[in-house]
């Protein structure tokens, strides 16, 4: 199948080249899964990606969870991600003023040099988008930002007014590839999709085939409901890396996501 046939309006309307890249990879590998690889060592990350790389479309990291970080080790992970055609997504959740966000793109982890996508909160003002983009520009790279429009954690402060502000900052921005939505609620994902329209993506964490697995305020919905309500990529962490058989689990999430996008149709 072609990306046009699978993604329909989204393919036609998303102008960001990174959005097209992820949509192409998703179709080629028949998966809409972004792996939340929340591991604490580079070797664990590498072994996880070796196992489940064929069943995922993007790799999300929290580089500050890794206790043995070194540029050399991280480069091995980057090469492995490339082998599997995975976009690298650092879930940094930038939240500071624009200038500091630009500087935080550098620093010890040098996110600007390897991440294709990062997350940012809108809390400090709209200039955070320019700050992050300037970080990439400093090393002559271009990346995409996912703004947090909703969250999956209970009691979060991102109410509907806040969500509206996030969308008005992101809409039309060449740097904003899309938004993080609350995957645990298909109602909220549907509302977010109506606000966003077809020209940007929605990625949803808070996804687990076991609705009751959430710990410390995390809430879960399932891949099917999230995608048919308007999510484009499901972000799955412990549902895969915490499973006894993680290859089997990754296949299950990939299949569920792929059948849901085909069902969603144009
Ligand atoms: O599947 P889990 O619950 O093991 O992991 C969910 C992942 C974690 C969180 O940092 C992240 O998704 N996340 C985010 C993101 C992606 O920004 C936002 C949110 O509202 N909830 C959430 O869990 O790596």
Candidates 210, 207, 196, 266; CA nearest to 233 is: 207
CB 201 within 8 A of CB 42: no
Contacts of 110 (CB under 8 A, 6+ apart): 71
Cβ of 36 less than 6 Å from ligand 1:
yes
- pLDDT of 213 higher than 90: no
**Per-residue model confidence as pLDDT tens digits over 84-130:** 999 999 999 999 999 999 999 999 999 999 999 999 999 999 999 99
Query: What average pLDDT score do residues 2-14 get?
Result: 96
Three-class SS state of 3? helix
At residue 110, the pLDDT reads 98
Quick: pLDDT tens for 131-167.
999 999 999 999 999 999 999 999 999 999 999 999 9
Q: Is 28 a catalytic residue?
A: no
CATH number of the 3-264 domain: 3.20.20.70
First-to-last C-alpha distance (Å) of the chain: 13
Categorize the per-residue pLDDT at 3 as very low, low, confident or very high, splitting at 50, 70 and 90. Answer: very high
Residue 266: pLDDT band by 50, 70, 90 thresholds? low
**Above 70 in pLDDT, residue 34?**
yes
> Using CA atoms, how far apart are residues 238 and 208, in angstroms rounded to an integer?
8
Please check the confidence at residue 221 and state whether its pLDDT lies above 70. Answer: yes
Q: What does the block give as tokens for 190?
A: 């549907």
Judge if the beta carbon of residue 183 lies within 6 A of ligand 1.
no
- What confidence category does residue 211 fall into, taking pLDDT thresholds of 50, 70 and 90? confident
Kindly report the pTM of this predicted structure.
0.98
Report the nearest atom of ligand 1 relative to the CA of 208: 1
**What is the model's pLDDT at position 214?**
86
Ligand 1 center from residue 219 Cα (angstroms): 10
Q: Which of 93, 99, 187, 215 is catalytic?
A: 93
Q: How high is the mean pLDDT of the chain?
A: 97
3-state class (DSSP) for residue 85: coil
């Amino acid at each position: 199948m072609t990306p046009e046939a699978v993604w329909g309006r989204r393919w036609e309307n998303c102008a960001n080249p990174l959005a097209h890249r992820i949509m192409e990879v998703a179709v080629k590998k028949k998966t809409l899964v972004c792996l939340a690889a929340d591991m604490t060592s580079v070797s664990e990350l590498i072994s996880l990606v070796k196992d489940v790389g064929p069943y995922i479309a993007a790799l999300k990291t929290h580089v500050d969870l890794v206790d043995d970080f070194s540029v050399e080790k991280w480069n091995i992970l980057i090469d492995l991600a490339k082998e599997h055609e995975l976009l690298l997504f650092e879930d940094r959740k930038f939240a500071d003023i624009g200038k500091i966000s630009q500087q935080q793109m550098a620093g010890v982890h040098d996110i600007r040099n390897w991440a294709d996508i990062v997350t940012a909160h809108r809390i400090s003002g709209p200039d955070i988008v320019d700050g992050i983009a300037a970080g990439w520009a400093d090393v002559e790279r271009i990346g995409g930002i996912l703004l947090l429009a909703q969250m999956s954690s209970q009691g979060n402060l991102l109410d509907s007014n806040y969500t509206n502000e996030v969308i008005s900052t992101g809409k039309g921005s060449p740097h904003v590839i899309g938004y993080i939505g609350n995957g645990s609620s298909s109602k909220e994902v549907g509302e977010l999709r109506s606000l966003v329209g077809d020209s940007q993506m929605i990625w949803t964490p808070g996804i687990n085939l076991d609705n009751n697995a959430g710990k410390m305020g995390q809430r879960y919905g399932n891949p099917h409901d999230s995608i048919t309500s308007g999510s484009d990529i499901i972000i799955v962490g412990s549902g895969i890396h915490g499973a006894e058989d993680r290859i089997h689990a990754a296949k299950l999430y990939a299949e569920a996501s792929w059948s849901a996008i085909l069902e969603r149709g144009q």
